[in-house]
Amino acid sequence: STVTESSIHINKRVSITNQGDINPDLAVLLSTSGTTGSSKLVRLSYNNLQVNAESIAEYLGITEDECPITSLPMSYSYGLSVLNSHLLKGATIVLTNGSFILRNFWSTFNKYQCTSFAGVPYSYQLLKKINFEKIDLPTLKTLTQAGGNLSENYQKYFMEISEKKGIKFFVMYGQTEATARISYVPHENLKNKLGSIGIPIPNGELKLYSDGNLITESDREGELVYFGENVMLGYAVDRSSLKNGDELDGVLYTGDLGKMDNDGYFYITGRAKRFIKVFGLRLNLDEVERMIENYLHLPTACIGNDDKLQILIQTEREDVSIEVRKLIKKMYKLHDSVIKVNIVQRIPVTSSGKRDYKRMFELL
C-alpha cells in the first residue's frame, strides 16, 4: 500500500507508568549544553517533533525516494531530525555505526545508493582532510550542515564541490530547544550569503531584539528570538519537571547575538555570554575565533577570562603561535601578557561535534 504524508504522524504513548507524574504531551528528553557546558534536559512534545519534521522535509524537498545514511547520533537533535523528517515522507534510511572517515562507510553509502549526508562543522573539517572531493558518490544529492558555525572557507570549499557535482549544499542553524531547526540558507543563494544562517524555516519566525525592543533595521545587532510550534515545552531539571506543560508558548530566546541584512538573511555575531573584558576592551570570543579561522584556514577555539585570552589552534605548525599573536595585537591592541596561544593536536569537541569549551578550560 502507498504511504502518504497525511498517514504518518508521531503517535503519543498508549500507556505509561505513574501517568500523573508525566505530562501526556511529553515525547522525549534530549540533553543540550550551553556555553558553560552544563547539561540540561530539553522537554520536547509530540507536536514539536511533528511540525519540525514537516518544516525540514519541506525546505529540503524530501520525498519517499530519498535515502539518507546515519552519520550523527539519534540522541542528538540534529541526528533525530534527519530520522523524523525522512520517516515522515516514507523514505528509506540506512543505519550504520560506521565512521564516515573510513572507506567502509562510503562503500555502504554507494551499496545502498544513499542520497544525502548530514554533518556538524567537525564532520566537514574531517571530510576535507580525507579529500572528500575525490570520493565517487554517484547517488549523492544533498549535503546538510548544522550544529555550529562552519567557517566561510569550509563553506566555500564544499559549495564549490557541490556545484561541480550537482549536489545541493544546505547550511543550517538550530538549537535542541527548537527541536532541531530554526533557519537555513537556500542552496542556490549560498554563494552570495556565505557566513549567514539564512532565513527562518517554513512556519517559523526569527526576529532581533535589543533591551526588549524589536529591531527592524538591517545591520544592527540584537538577540535572536525564534517563534514557532517547534519550540520546546521547557527544561527538565528533576523528575517533577516532567509533569509541567508548555512554559514557553512557542517563543525561544536563543542567547545568540546576530544581525539581519537587507534581504532578510540573518548572521550570528556571537553568544550573549561569550564575552570577556580585557584591560577594559570587551571581546566577543566567537568573533575572534572566526577572524583567526578565516585568516589561517585552521580550526580555532577561544576561551578566557578578564585576565587572559586563550587561543587554541589545531595544527602541527609551531610558527603559527607567533603569527596569531601578531594578528591579535594588530586587531585588538592587546598586550602580549594577556594573549596565550596553545598549539593542539585536536580541539576538544562534544559527542555531537560541537566545540567543548568546558573541556578546554579543564585542559588549560
Average pLDDT, the chain: 90
Q: Which residue, 180, 63, 177, is CA-closest to 118?
A: 180
Rounded to an integer, what distance in angstroms lies between the CA atom of residue 109 and that of residue 62? 18
Q: Cα angle at 271 between 268 and 273, to 5 degrees?
A: 165
Question: Residues 181-229: pLDDT tens digits?
Answer: 999 999 999 999 999 999 999 999 999 999 889 999 999 999 999 999 9
Q: Distance of CA 360 to CAs 146, 304, 349, Å? A: 22, 10, 9
More confident call, 95 vs 284:
95
What pLDDT is stored for residue 260 in this prediction? 98
Strand partners, 4: none
Instruction: Please give the model's pTM, rounded to 2 decimal places.
Output: 0.79
Asked whether 118 and 82 are in contact (CB, 8 A), the reply is yes
What pLDDT is stored for residue 18 in this prediction? 56
More confident call, 131 vs 33:
131
SS3 334: coil
The whole-number average pLDDT for the span 311-317 is: 94
- DSSP letter, residue 213: E
Q: Is the pLDDT of residue 36 over 70?
A: no
What pLDDT is stored for residue 144 in this prediction? 98
Same topology for domains 5-271 and 275-363, yes or no? Answer: no
What pLDDT is stored for residue 1 in this prediction? 32
Quick one: what percent of the chain has pLDDT higher than 70?
92
Annotate 136-172 with DSSP letters as a single string: --TT--EEEE-SSPPPHHHHHHHHHHHHHHT-EEEEE
What pLDDT is stored for residue 335 in this prediction? 85
Q: Grid coordinates standing for 254? A: 536563543
Q: Which fold has domain 275-363?
A: GMP Synthetase; Chain A, domain 3 (3.30.300)
Q: Is the pLDDT of residue 3 over 50?
A: no
Q: Distance of CA 333 to CAs 170, 254, 279, Å? A: 37, 31, 10
Return the domain boundaries, the chain.
Answer: 5-271, 275-363
CATH tag, 5-271 = 3.40.50.12780
Q: Is the pLDDT of residue 37 over 60?
A: no
